[in-house]
Amino acid sequence: MKLKKIAALVAIAAASGSAFATNGYFSHGYGMKAKGMGGAATAVTGDTFGGANNPATMVWAGDRLDVGVDLFSPKRSSSRQGSPAGDGTSESGSNLFYVPEFGYNKMLGWNISAGVTVYGNGGMNTDYPGAALAGDPFGTCAGAQENLLFGCGKLGVDLIQLIIAPTLAYKINTNHSVGISPLLGYQRFKVDGLQAFAGVSSSGTDVTNKGYDDSRGWGLRVGWLGKISDTVTLGAAYSTRMRMSAFSKYKGLFAEGGDFDIPENYNFGITVKATPKLTIAADIQQINYADVKSIANGVTNSLPAPVAPNRLGDVNGSGFNWRDQTVYKLGAEYEYSKSLILRAGYNYGKSPVRGDTTNDVTFNILAPGVVEKHVTLGATWMLSSKDEVTLSYMHAFKNTVTGPSATVLLGQGGTETLKMSQDALGIAYGLKF
């Protein structure tokens, strides 16, 4: 009963407070130990976050409970230069978020385990002030100053994604295991300040300022782990596309009538015991954003005055024009003493927003997920044979993406620039039982 209450509290907290974007809008890592190693976790077996990383690792974790929280601080700004409407720059507020995590695992025999991982998959958040432009070039604000996307009042988006992953793992023999995690997903979304785009929508009253809307759905993650030798372990995991219900309040904004599925992704990993005290882990992760039309469709699809099926909300309506992303994760773990383990890592994924000459910057003012390079640090203190505390820190270096504005199709134009950097500091408690 206590475990159910803890899981419920973590789920409520995640649904009410987390919003982050490091690898696109996915997290750079899941579980505080992985976060300290650049996110590398596919072939690592030290905690209960296999439901997010590789279900096959859970049967090696033993009986344990993990609970933690990450304090995440993104810094975001957007600007437009050279537009007839005038130049404008906005910095997003709301710069501190908490991201809870929870995992539990129970051995049902030497070769089988059952557990659950609860985690924030990712998200996007911006909170720009209104009146970023000098006037009202589109006439949408009754003469008042418009925001950076020509709407009225504040401009911003808030998307969170929570996943609950019950997990069953099985050792085929003493060196190999497999695992499976049904993925139960929940999303919450709202956007403000897009009044200027109601006229190019299939449902102009369902584009902006509708408050929060909810979405639910499911998917599946499967995984394998193999101890190839005493020093080398390999792992692989695959997650299906999560089919989520549509955001009905925003059916005039997202392609396919409010659809916003969570994309298919898969990862491969290797862990090498370089010395008795030093372990090196490396992962490659592929996130197929381009399979989800509301994420991948071109920004200019719905401009300037389209007809079906190219209006906002239609099958071919505008999205964020994100490309697929390949992420490289490298981490090291060093046993400094019997009671202290140190970690460090690096994470790189080329931004899914490219700028170049494709006018794909404009809608990404809402969600400038453009950071690419991350460095991480971490440590675990063994308080006793059963209790441990883990810390992690992540810094994502500032990245800038610049490109032509899609508003050239609306008689405006100019050049737009997105900037983002991030910091995160987390703490988690682990209990073996």
What are the start-end ranges of the H helices in 171-303?
255-258, 293-296
pLDDT of 5 above 60 = no
Q: Which pLDDT band, with edges at 50, 70 and 90, does 1 fall under? A: very low
* pLDDT recorded at residue 309: 92
* pLDDT recorded at residue 20: 60
Average pLDDT of the chain to the nearest whole number: 91
CA dihedral 402, 407, 411, 412 (to 10 degrees): -50
Q: What is the pLDDT of residues 339-387, one digit of tens each?
A: 999 999 999 999 999 877 666 788 999 989 899 999 999 999 999 999 9
* pLDDT recorded at residue 238: 98
* pLDDT recorded at residue 139: 75
Buried b (16+ CB within 10 A) or exposed e, 303-342: beebeeebbbbbbbbbbbbbbbbebbbbbbbbeeeeeebb
Query: What number is the average pLDDT over the span 181-208?
Result: 95
What are the start-end ranges of the H helices in 147-292?
255-258
Backbone angle region of 181, left / alpha / beta, with phi > 0 → left and psi within -120 to 50 → alpha: beta
User: In terms of residue numbers, what domain contains 104?
Assistant: 2-432
**φ/ψ (deg, to 5) at 204:** -65, -20
Nearest to residue 279, comparing CAs of 329, 330, 338?
A: 330
**What domain count does the chain have?**
1
Q: What is the pLDDT of residues 276-309, one digit of tens each?
A: 999 999 999 999 999 999 999 998 898 877 888 9
Q: What is the pLDDT of residues 92-120, one digit of tens each?
A: 988 888 899 999 999 999 999 999 999 99
The span from the CA of 350 to the CA of 283, in Å, is 15
Nearest to residue 333, comparing CAs of 290, 392, 385?
A: 392
Q: 66 with 374: CB under 8 angstroms? A: no
The span from the CA of 246 to the CA of 74, in Å, is 28
Query: What number is the average pLDDT over the span 190-195?
Result: 96
E runs forming strands in 274-414: 278-287, 325-337, 340-349, 373-382, 387-404
CATH of the domain at 360: 2.40.160.60
Report the predicted TM-score, pTM, of the whole model to 2 decimal places.
Answer: 0.94
Which H helix or E strand runs over 35? Answer: helix 32-35
Q: Hey, what amino acid is at 174?
A: T
Question: What's the full length of the chain, in residues?
Answer: 433
Q: Hey, what amino acid is at 137?
A: P
Cα-trace Rg, the chain: 22
Q: 84 with 432: CB under 8 angstroms? A: no
Q: Tokens 């690419």 identify what position?
A: 372
* pLDDT recorded at residue 165: 98
Q: Report residue 226 as tokens.
A: 């193999």
Query: What number is the average pLDDT over the span 310-321?
Result: 94
Antiparallel, parallel or unpaired: β 265-273 and 325-337: unpaired
Taking the chain, what is the end-to-end CA distance rounded to the nearest angstrom? 16
* Out of 17-26, 116-125, 150-159, least confident range: 17-26
pLDDT of 266 above 80 = yes
Cα 74 vs. chain centroid, distance in angstroms? Answer: 13
Q: With 0-12 CB in 10 A as exposed, 13-18 as middle and 19+ as buried, what is 109?
A: exposed
Q: What is the pLDDT of residues 397-409, one digit of tens each?
A: 999 999 988 877 7
pLDDT of 311 above 70 = yes
* pLDDT recorded at residue 16: 46
* pLDDT recorded at residue 168: 98
DSSP string covering 338-363, please? TTEEEEEEEEEE--S---TTTT-SGG
Q: What are the angstrom distances between the C-alpha of 103 and each of 1, 11, 32, 429?
A: 15, 11, 11, 11
Q: 324 with 359: CB under 8 angstroms? A: no
Q: What is the pLDDT of residues 23-79, one digit of tens each?
A: 999 999 999 999 999 999 999 999 999 999 999 999 999 999 999 999 999 999 999
pLDDT of 2 above 80 = no
Q: Hey, what amino acid is at 343?
A: R
The span from the CA of 34 to the CA of 392, in Å, is 9
Q: How many CA atoms lie within 13 A of 293 on its CB side?
A: 18
* pLDDT recorded at residue 359: 66
pLDDT of 15 above 90 = no
